């Protein structure tokens, strides 16, 4: 009986070890294949040039710039909304009904499939508001997608500010809004920024929400206004894999795009995770 349970423990732990190895191998091999093939596409012109010879040569400059614009736009839109929502939830601790309503909305919004955001953006921003397929429509759509993440990160950051700090501010005669602006927000800023960086990583890689709202599959120039349609890295990978007639040349460029995107997302996310762990340790 004793030996039996010892053996089952050994077997069980072995199985768990196998699980984590499978997980790390599967995900690690993706990074390996993208990196080892993608690096071959890299050159200075790959980052700066426009696509040439119907996307079989040249660079992906417009796609990089397009992705940066979309990410910037989505953060500009959702950061203020997210931070103010978090302030309201933490500092004004609204009555149960309002609190639950907002909480419920955030949780469910977080679970909406990304392609559904694309449909919403198409119907509302592109058609109803008449923004057409543009950086503006795409940024707003992506902005709504990353909003739940920004709210929860900001909420976590603001709620972690010790109550005594607020009380000290009130004791000095500050009003609530002064306390929020001058005491709570500065203290919560690192946490809020971390949430923002995580959201940047998410927004950069999303494809489905911008497919109908922002992107064009080919552009010879850089965007000059928020009403322009743009190329974007993730969509460019999709286009290279599904359109055109030169699969081999296109494959290399697609690998290059995928590697840029992977570096961008992993770099940004690791910075955010590192900062977050550092902040958590500070408060605990």
Partner 1 sequence: MGLSDKIYKYIFMTVALSSFVFLIGIIIVLFSEGLPVLSSTGVMAFIFGKSWYPTSTPPEFGIFPLISASLVVTLGAMVVAVPVGIGSALYIHEIAGVKQKMILKPVVELLGAIPSIIFGFFGMLIVAPFLQDLLHLSTGQCAFTGALILGIMAIPVLCSISEDALSVVPKSYREASYALGANRWQTLWKVIMPAAGSGVSTSIILGISRVMGETMTVLLVTGGAAMIPKSIFDPVRPMTSTIAAEMGEAAVGGAHYHALFAIGLVLFLITLMMNMIAEYISRKYRMKLGQDV
Q: How far is the CB of 194 from partner 1 (least distance, A)?
A: 13
Nearer to partner 1, 44 or 198 (CB): 198
Assign residue 59 a region: left if phi > 0, alpha if psi is -120 to 50, beta otherwise?
A: beta
Of the pair 44, 134, the CB lying nearest partner 1 is at 134
Q: Which is nearer to partner 1, 83 or 135 (CB)?
A: 83
In the complex with partner 1, the residue whose CB is nearer, 54 or 114, is 114
**CB–CB of 40/169 below 8 Å?**
no
The distance of closest approach from Cβ of residue 207 to partner 1 in the complex, given in angstroms and rounded to an integer, is: 5
CA dihedral 204→205→211→215, nearest 10 degrees, is 40
Q: How many angstroms separate the CA atoms of 5 and 28, rounded?
A: 34
Q: Which is nearer to partner 1, 22 or 39 (CB)?
A: 22
**Shortest separation between residue 22's beta carbon and partner 1, angstroms:** 5
DSSP 85-130: HHHHHHHS---HHHHHHHHHHHHHHHHS-HHHHHHHHIIIIIIIS-
Q: Which two tokens stand for residue 156?
A: 């976590």
Q: What is the DSSP-derived secondary structure letter of residue 172? A: T
| Contact call for residues 124 and 148 (beta carbons, < 8 A) | no
Find out whether 268 and 204 touch, Cβ atoms under 8 Å. Answer: yes
Shortest spacing between CB 70 and partner 1, in angstroms: 13
DSSP class of residue 183 equals I
**What would the two tokens of residue 240 be?**
């290279």
Nearest approach, Cβ of residue 227 and partner 1 (Å): 19
Shortest reach from residue 86's CB to partner 1, in Å: 8
Residue placing its CB nearer to partner 1 in the complex, 135 or 237: 237
Residue among 94 and 225 whose Cβ is closer to partner 1: 94
The least CB distance from residue 277 to partner 1, in Å, is: 7
Q: Are 55 and 250 in contact (CB under 8 A)?
A: yes
Shortest Cβ distance from residue 135 to partner 1 (Å)?
19
Q: Which is nearer to partner 1, 141 or 228 (CB)?
A: 141
DSSP secondary structure code for residue 58 in this structure: E
What SS3 class is residue 28?
A: helix
The Cβ of residue 98 has, within 10 Å, a number of other Cβ atoms equal to: 13
């Amino acid at each position: 009986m004793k030996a039996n349970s010892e053996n089952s423990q050994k077997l069980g732990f072995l199985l768990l070890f196998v699980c984590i190895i499978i997980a790390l191998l599967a995900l690690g091999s993706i990074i390996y294949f993208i990196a080892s093939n993608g690096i071959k596409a890299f050159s200075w012109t790959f980052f700066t040039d426009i696509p040439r010879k119907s996307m079989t040569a040249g660079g992906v400059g417009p796609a990089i710039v397009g992705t940066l614009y979309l990410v910037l736009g989505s953060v500009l839109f959702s950061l203020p909304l997210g931070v103010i929502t978090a302030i309201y939830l933490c500092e004004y601790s609204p009555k149960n009904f309002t609190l639950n309503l907002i909480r419920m909305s955030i949780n469910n919004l977080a679970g909406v499939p990304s392609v559904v955001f694309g449909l919403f953006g198409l119907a509302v921003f592109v058609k109803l508001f008449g923004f057409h397929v543009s950086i503006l429509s795409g940024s707003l759509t992506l902005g709504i997608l990353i909003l739940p993440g920004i709210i929860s990160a900001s909420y976590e950051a603001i709620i972690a500010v010790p109550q005594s700090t607020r009380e000290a501010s009130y004791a000095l005669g500050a009003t609530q809004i002064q306390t929020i602006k001058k005491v709570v927000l500065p203290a919560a800023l690192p946490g809020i920024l971390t949430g923002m960086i995580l959201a940047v990583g998410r927004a950069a890689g999303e494809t489905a929400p911008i497919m109908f709202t922002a992107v064009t599959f080919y552009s010879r120039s850089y965007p000059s206004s928020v009403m322009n349609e743009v190329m974007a890295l993730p969509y460019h990978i999709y286009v290279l894999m599904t359109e055109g007639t030169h699969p081999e040349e296109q494959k290399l460029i697609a690998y290059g795009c995928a590697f840029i995107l992977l570096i961008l997302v992993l770099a940004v996310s690791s910075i955010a995770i590192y900062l977050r762990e550092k902040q958590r340790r500070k408060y605990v």
